Amino acid sequence: MHSGDHDPESGGHDHGHHHHHGHNHDHSELDEMELRVRALESLLTEKGYIDPPALDALIETYEKQVGPRNGAAVVARAWNDPGFMKMLRDDATAAISSMNFVGRQGEHMVAVENTPGTHNMVVCTLCSCYPWPVLGLPPVWYKSPAYRSRAVIEPRSVLAEFGVTLPEGTAIKVWDSTAEVRYLVIPQRPAGTGGMSEEDLACLVTRDSMIGTGLALTPDEARAKGLLS
């Protein structure tokens, strides 16, 4: 372990549950990365380039505050409020920022709407671009070579791995996020949800349904998963 004036663990975040690593499997990627990252953080702190409490605040933001529930609230409102849906179609950045979901990796938003004949799916073949303010940080599969390579050339086989089969004749639109524009899929509103509140509707909207690798849940599916009472 390094020693230095600044202990990277002094920022108050919880490392406790990871301490079992490193004692059992030497030379693994985990041990190596843990050491290299700590050394870098220690060095950058000593150089005065970073402020460790700011690092904790960054982590806290994406662990606790920003995530797919934001996007679900956007979709539920779009389903419930035709005026908001129109705003989302016309200027998704403005519509989403009206709900206070703003900032890094959501500066330029476009909403793409699934319809009975069209299914949208989002990928970043060149890196890991993802709409952070509405979906949070991307899952590992989204950043994986398997997803990035296959989404554009065989979207149906990708969907099959998610258990999604589209009705015959559905056209798939794959959005490759090559620029700073970020895409949010508005899944189709499930049948039998006419009288539901916006809050309950949001429980039907999964992260994957907003990437386009899933569909919105039916109320029964959401109840079975314990997402809806």
Partner 1 sequence: MNGPQDLGGAHGFGPLPLEENEPLFHDDWERRVLALTLAMGASGSWNIDASRHARERTPPAEYLSSSYYRIWFEGLVRLIEETGLASTDEIASGRMTEPPKRVKRVLKEADVAAVLAKGGPADRSTETKAQFAVGDRVRARVMNPKGHTRLPRYVRGHTGTIERIHGCHVFPDSAAHGLGDDPQWLYGVVFDAGEVWGEARGGDTLHIDLWEPYLERL
**Taking CB under 8 A as the criterion, which residues in 157-216 touch partner 1?**
158, 161-162, 169, 171-181
What are the distances in angstroms from CA 165 to CA 162, 169, 214?
9, 11, 10
CB of 81 to partner 1, least distance (A): 24
Per residue in 68-100, is it b (16+ CB within 10 Å) or e — as a string?
Answer: bebbbbbbbbbbbeeebbebbeeebbebbbeee
- Residues between 77 and 106 with contacts to partner 1, criterion CB under 8 A: 102-106
Report residue 29 as tokens.
Answer: 């990627």
Spot the catalytic one: 10, 42, 98, 127.
Answer: 127
- 3 state SS of 123: strand
Q: Which is nearer to partner 1, 100 or 229 (CB)?
A: 100
Instruction: Annotate each residue in 103-132 with x if it binds partner 1 (CB under 8 A) or - if it does not, as one string.
Output: xxxxxx-x------------x-xxxx----
Only segment of 40-48, 78-86, 193-201, 220-228 that touches partner 1 (CB under 8 A): 40-48
DSSP state, 115? Answer: B
- Residues between 131 and 150 with contacts to partner 1, criterion CB under 8 A: 136-137, 139-141, 143-150
152, 153, 158, 159: CA torsion to nearest 10:
70
Q: What residues are annotated to the active site?
A: 124, 127-129
